[in-house]
Amino acid sequence: METLSDAEVLSAMTRVLRTVTGNPSLPAPRSLLRSRWHSAPYTRGSYSYVAVGSSGDDIDVLAQPLPEDPRDPRPLQLLFAGEATHRTFYSTTHGALLSGWREAERLNQLFQAPVSAEAA
């Protein structure tokens, strides 16, 4: 699909939409927005997957912030989000979103002002 022009993709989309809706006079879409995931220079169509011999535990390790030892006196230096770091929804947009929310919450907890006994 990435090698086709927008006009060719719109034409094919129109044929499919008319077929699945059963409406041969359905108007053609006016425009389209599509990714070029396969030819993007930084991804080349790649995605994460659990390799043979790996497990969900490996995904959990990828998601651990650094430094990972909670007794380390240094604050968190590096957080990891993305579809490769979500154990349940790895390799999905949903996993990328949820992992971003997870790390945002981690930052919220890290920078949350302590509540004094008087204010409570």
Task: Determine, yes or no, domain membership for 120.
Answer: no
Number of domains in the chain: 2
Which band of pLDDT confidence, cut at 50, 70 and 90, is reported for residue 4?
very high
Q: How many residues belong to the chain?
A: 120
Q: Are residues 82 and 102 in the same domain?
A: yes
Task: Determine, yes or no, domain membership for 119.
Answer: no
Among 1-10, 11-20, 106-115, whose mean pLDDT is lowest?
A: 106-115
Domain hosting residue 33, numbered range: 1-46
Q: Are residues 107 and 66 in the same domain?
A: yes
Task: Determine, yes or no, domain membership for 32.
Answer: yes
pLDDT of residue 27: 93
Q: Are residues 64 and 40 in the same domain?
A: no
- Please confirm whether the linkage preceding 65 is cis (ω < 30° from 0): no
| Average pLDDT for 22-50 | 85
Q: Are residues 61 and 107 in the same domain?
A: yes
Q: Are residues 31 and 75 in the same domain?
A: no
- DSSP annotation of 78 reads B
**The one-letter amino acid at 29:** P
The answer to whether 2 and 9 have CB atoms below 8 angstroms apart is no
- 40: phi then psi, degrees, rounded to nearest 5: -65, 130
pLDDT of residue 90: 84
Task: Determine, yes or no, domain membership for 103.
Answer: yes
Give Cα 5 distance to the centre of its chain: 27
